[in-house]
Copies of this chain bind each other. A is one copy, B any other.
Amino acid sequence: MPARTDHDERRQRVARLAADLVADGGLAAATHRRIAEAAGCSTTIVSHYFSGKRDLVTATYQEVGDRVAARMEAANGTEDPLAAILEALLPLDADRTRDWRLLFTFLGLAATDAELTAEQRDRAGAARAQIETALDGDKQAGRIPSGTDVAASARHLLSLVLGMGMQALFDPAEWPPDRMRAATADAVQHLRAPQACQPVARRSSARLPKAY
């Protein structure tokens, strides 16, 4: 089906250009006219691909999702997939920072839109599943204790990475790449080298549940 493929490829190319406009200047900057100028086509063609802002931001989100998926795939092929997957999710360079910016532009609409919320839920679920797979691999290789709660550990690691990325996007000076890398490595090391002795300095009387 070459006609369909051509259409999809052209749409993807235009989505990429539109995403660049959004990442640089926000949704307001990505008018049909400017997208048409960047793509060297007519506004009619742009309207054909994206009927409105919601459609446009969804296309840029899918483009980001594809890029994230490719990074995760590459991370899976490394010597330490767990650490590599977590780093793939962080805004450690210009490309990933661009994608975090686009992610947040999308989430700004998704926060009050059930359909877009479901898309983000699925993407986050896929990322969590990849982290779980890497943890299972660690367990099989004896790098983490056999009793590790894989689901809870994956939730913990993904929360940490998303919370760091969220802060880094709005406060890059507080979150230089080395700090994000070190915090991630520290969390991974904590799973891999748990300390197996008595607690010290436990003087609090707070009631704290032990499992999650």
Contacts and interface: CB of A to CB of B under 8 A. Distances in A.
A121 B171 contact: yes
A22 interface: yes
A161 interface: yes
A124 interface: yes
A26 B208 contact: no
Given A117-B170, A194-B201, A159 B160 contact: yes
Interface in A97-113: 100-102, 104-113
Please indicate which of the listed interface residues A25, A101, A112, A204 has the most CB atoms of chain B within 10 Å of its own CB.
A112
Given A189-B210, A208-B189, A143 B112 contact: no
Interface string A182-212: 1101101100111111111111101011111
Interface of A: 22-27, 29, 80, 83, 100-102, 104-113, 117, 120-121, 124-125, 138, 141-145, 152, 155-156, 158-164, 166-167, 169-171, 174, 179, 181-183, 185-186, 188-189, 192-204, 206, 208-212
Given A120-B171, A125-B174, A182-B209, 20 more contacts: A23-B112, A24-B112, A25-B112, A80-B204, A102-B111, A104-B107, A105-B112, A107-B170, A108-B109, A108-B111, A111-B169, A142-B201, A155-B174, A162-B167, A163-B163, A181-B209, A188-B206, A189-B210, A192-B201, A195-B197
